[in-house]
Amino acid sequence: MNSETANPREIILIKTGELALKGLNRGTFEAILLKNLRHRLSGLGGFRFRKAQSTIYAEPLDSGIDMEEAARRVSEVFGIAAYSLARVTGKNMDDILEASADFLGGELNEAQTFKVEAKRSDKSFELKSPEICDIAGRYILDRFSHLKVDVHNPDAVVFIEIRDFGAYIHSRQHAGAGGMPVGSGGHAALLISGGIDSPVAGYMMAKRGISLSCIHFVSPPYTSERAELKVVSLLERVSRFAGHMELYLVPFTRIQEEIGRLCPEDLFTIIMRRFMMRISTILGERLECGALITGESVGQVASQTLPAISCTDAAAGMPVLRPLIGMDKDEIIAVSRKIGTFDISIQPYEDCCTIFTPRHPRTRPRLEMVLEAEAPLDADRLIEEAINGIRRRSI
């Protein structure tokens, strides 16, 4: 190992996924992935990244870095197909055998069966792969007498890789978060409520490489400070995957009150959502977003029927991405549990959508009808006021 490395004992081996298919863009994609990895691990201490044979090696530079936590963070970075935490040893069989038993001892104790796989990319190493497997297999059987070899379906696998920089010992690799590195797919504005769906929608688009700015509409005094903090906690979760983002808080009280005063009740929600789209488009253009993202799913609520979505869409000046559009609530909840937003989303709060909720919302609005209903509102002025009142928070 290199002498600059203060804590050379463990490193993370990272296999890139889909980005390997990107041909000419590969260099750019890898650069973005490295930047994201660096950012995600920076809070834990210094790391050095090295690339060889389609693997990225993340090496800690400081002693005492929590490598389990580093591996957990790596598992949340998009653009990674698989990763493993590996023990680094000298390139001689004594060290390799001792390190295998020590590093993977816990797992081997739990297992009934195992096998050894060896890979020798440094061809100057004195033993060939089958010989390494043979020696290591015997050694492990000797040290862990309860184990049996099973080459087809083992409980545990001991990987020994002899590379240029050293020998690496690791167990089966873990699946990475998949997707594309955040930032490789452009930038979009996520309309985030405090509900279950929109954080999942943001996660899904970040997975496709889109970096996020977030917009949340607040209606004080009808909505509380707690509702805003809830959105902040949701976004803190999402940002583990989606990276750094800014949250824009848009004052929406006056618009909702004016809609309540001047528009027919059965169209409140549609008209409100059209205002959200118009304001988000203006803000999105300023933030150089290529699209808006919402958590809508067909048929989930009255404002998510096809005619309602079509009226909402007509107010947006850029593409609206709705990654949850064909998902069942159960499927959405499964993702929200996986990314850790579910428990936050179900906390009670007052959302600006739940105040002024019509008793009988129209499920088949026609655009002409909606435009007519909106006509009495001084829309341009209301929108300008809302935009002037935007506050920003970093996540």
Q: Is 294 in the site for ligand ATP (CB under 6 A)?
A: yes
Give the C-alpha separation, 74 to 49, whole Å.
13
Sign of CA dihedral 303, 308, 314, 319: positive
Residue 58 or residue 276: which is nearer to ligand ATP going by CB? 276
Kindly indicate which of the ranges 73-81, 102-110, 161-169, 298-306 contains the residues binding ligand ATP, using the contact rule CB under 6 A.
298-306
User: Is residue 198 a contact residue for ligand ATP (CB under 6 A)?
Assistant: yes
Site map 28..67 versus ligand ATP, x via CB under 6 A = ----------------------------------------
Count of residues engaged in binding ligand ATP, rule: CB under 6 A: 20
295 binds, among Mg ion, ligand ATP, none (CB under 5 to 8 A by kind): ligand ATP
Query: Is-contact 85 68, C-beta < 8 A?
Result: yes
Query: Residue 279: which of 262, 261, 264, 292 has the closest Cα?
Result: 292
Nearer Cβ to Mg ion, position 195 or 361?
195
- Closer residue to ligand ATP in complex, CB, 157/205: 205
Number of residues that bind Mg ion (CB under 5 A): 2
Smaller CB distance to ligand ATP: residue 157 or 382? 382
Residue 270 near which of ligand ATP, Mg ion, none (CB within 5-8 Å, type-dependent) = none
Beta carbon nearer to Mg ion, 154 or 195: 195
Q: How far is CA 302 from the centre of its chain?
A: 29
Residue 351 contacts ligand ATP per CB under 6 A: yes
Total Cβ atoms within 10 A of residue 143: 14
390 scored as a contact of ligand ATP (CB under 6 A):
no
For Mg ion, the binding residues in 167-226 under the rule CB under 5 A are 193, 195
| Burial 250-278, CB ≥16 within 10 A → b, else e | bbbbebbebbeeebeebbbbbbbbbbbbb
* Residue 198 binds which of ligand ATP, Mg ion, none (CB < 5-8 A, kind-dependent): ligand ATP
CB of 319 to ligand ATP, least distance (A): 14
How far apart CA 230 and CA 195 sit, in angstroms, is 10
Binding of ligand ATP by 253 (CB under 6 A): no
Strands 80-89 and 10-16: antiparallel
With H, G, I as helix, E, B as strand and everything else as coil, classify residue 267.
Answer: helix
**Minimal distance in Å, beta carbon 360 to ligand ATP?**
16
Q: In this structure, are residues 99 and 89 in contact, taking their beta carbons and an 8 Å threshold?
A: yes
d(CA 18, CA 16): 7
Identify what 296 binds: ligand ATP, Mg ion, none; CB under 5 to 8 Å per kind: ligand ATP
255 binds ligand ATP (CB under 6 A): no
| Smallest distance, ligand ATP to C-beta of residue 324, A | 8
Q: Give the C-alpha separation, 20 to 13, whole Å.
A: 16
Cβ(245)–Cβ(211) below 8 Å: yes
Cβ nearer to ligand ATP, comparing 159 with 203: 203
Interface residue with ligand ATP among 295, 323, 361, 365 (CB under 6 A) is 295
Choosing among Mg ion, ligand ATP, none, which partner's interface includes residue 268 (Cβ < 5 to 8 Å by kind)?
Answer: none
Q: What Å distances lie between residue 68 and 14, 65, 82, 123, CA to CA?
A: 14, 9, 15, 31
Instruction: Give the separation between CA 40 and CA 58, rounded to whole angstroms.
Output: 12
Dist. CA 276–CA 270, nearest whole Å: 10
Minimum CB distance to Mg ion, residue 351 (Å): 6
User: Interface residues with ligand ATP (CB under 6 A)?
Assistant: 191-193, 195-198, 215-217, 276, 294-296, 300-301, 303, 351-353
